């Protein structure tokens, strides 16, 4: 199941992947970056490049001398001089490819915008899928999702509101309409959306309104943000199962809106701080 993430992408990412823009040189997240893993298409999650193909061309953008087989399309650019590269699955704009520069023995440089990419610490992944949930303070939600087999990347942020580029302080003051949320990238060969959503319901209390544990505020409301009709149907089915078990579920099921990544200090908070979640615990709710 391919999930197009366009609805969740901020305007500055859309300007690159859909409108063929170019990010400023030396500003991209993956320019000066060398961890082992796989680079994915930011729009559809398809694997594009392995870290073994990345090299430092000192050009201001991530450079790769080889793509994963059949993952990247080449087409003449509208300027008539360059060759554009696109995701072979969803046609998201990636950047351009240049040959004959002799940077590496493969003699090719895929010059890619960081904003066109996601990175996961998995050297073999081919396909990924994505889910976005809100279940109270995103620190605890992220910590528990990181323990789930099949989850290969998490990112906390804000979604569901009306303000662009919200800050944590603005969200906490109730000025934006956003929820504290988590973006979960997972391997569909190891876990499916239904199992992921069951886990979501089992790591928080979905009967609380605008709160979770001791935390109170609209930003802590339980919610599922769906990308497509299949995710919507599965979320509704699970709510119905919980209600039959006498849970008074207050979880909102909402269409996807722009996901704004939270400030760096919020990412992976509990792992970095050595602290432990104070308002999230696992409780088995669904029968096997």
Catalytic, 41? Answer: no
Q: How far apart are CA 126 and CA 48, in angstroms?
A: 8
Cite the DSSP H helix spans in 203-259.
229-244
60 vs 68: CA distance, rounded Å: 22
Q: How far apart are CA 182 and CA 288, in angstroms?
A: 26
Rounded alpha-carbon distances, angstroms, from residue 59 to 15, 56, 62, 112, 249: 21, 8, 8, 10, 52
Count other Cβ atoms within 10 Å, centred on residue 68: 17
Burial class for 103, CB neighbours closer than 10 Å (0-12, 13-18, 19+): middle
The Cβ of residue 56 has, within 10 Å, a number of other Cβ atoms equal to 11
By three-state DSSP, how is residue 141 classified?
helix
279 given a catalytic annotation: no
Q: Which positions ≥6 away from 63 have C-beta within 8 Å?
A: 54, 55, 56, 57, 103, 109, 110, 111, 112
Distance CA 145, CA 212 (A): 16
Catalytic residue among 41, 111, 172, 279: 111
41, 44, 137, 279: the catalytic one is 137
DSSP character at residue 106: T
Hey, which residues are catalytic here? 111, 137
């Amino acid at each position: 199941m391919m999930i197009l993430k366009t609805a969740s992408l901020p305007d500055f990412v859309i300007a690159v992947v859909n409108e063929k823009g170019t990010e400023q040189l030396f500003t991209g997240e993956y320019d000066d970056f060398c961890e082992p893993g796989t680079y994915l298409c930011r729009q559809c999650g398809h694997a594009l490049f392995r870290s073994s193909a990345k090299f430092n061309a000192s050009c201001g953008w991530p450079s790769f001398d080889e793509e994963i087989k059949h993952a990247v399309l080449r087409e003449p650019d509208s300027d008539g001089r360059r060759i554009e590269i696109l995701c072979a699955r969803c046609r998201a704009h990636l950047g351009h490819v240049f040959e004959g520069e002799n940077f590496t023995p493969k003699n090719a440089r895929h010059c890619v915008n960081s904003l066109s990419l996601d990175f996961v610490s998995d050297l073999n992944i081919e396909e990924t899928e994505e889910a976005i949930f809100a279940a109270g303070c995103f620190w605890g939600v992220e910590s528990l999702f990181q323990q789930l087999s099949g989850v290969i990347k998490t990112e906390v942020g804000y979604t569901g509101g009306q303000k662009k580029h919200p800050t944590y302080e603005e969200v906490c003051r109730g000025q934006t309409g956003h929820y504290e949320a988590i973006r979960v990238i997972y391997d569909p060969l190891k876990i499916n959306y239904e199992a992921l959503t069951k886990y979501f319901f089992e790591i928080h209390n979905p009967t609380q309104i605008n709160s979770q544990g001791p935390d109170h505020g609209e930003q802590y409301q339980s919610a599922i943000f769906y990308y497509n009709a299949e995710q919507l149907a599965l979320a509704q089915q699970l709510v119905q199962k919980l209600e039959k078990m006498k849970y008074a579920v207050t979880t909102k099921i909402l269409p996807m809106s722009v996901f704004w990544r939270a400030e760096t200090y919020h990412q992976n908070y509990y792992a970095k701080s050595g602290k432990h979640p104070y308002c999230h615990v696992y409780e088995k709710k669904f029968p096997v």
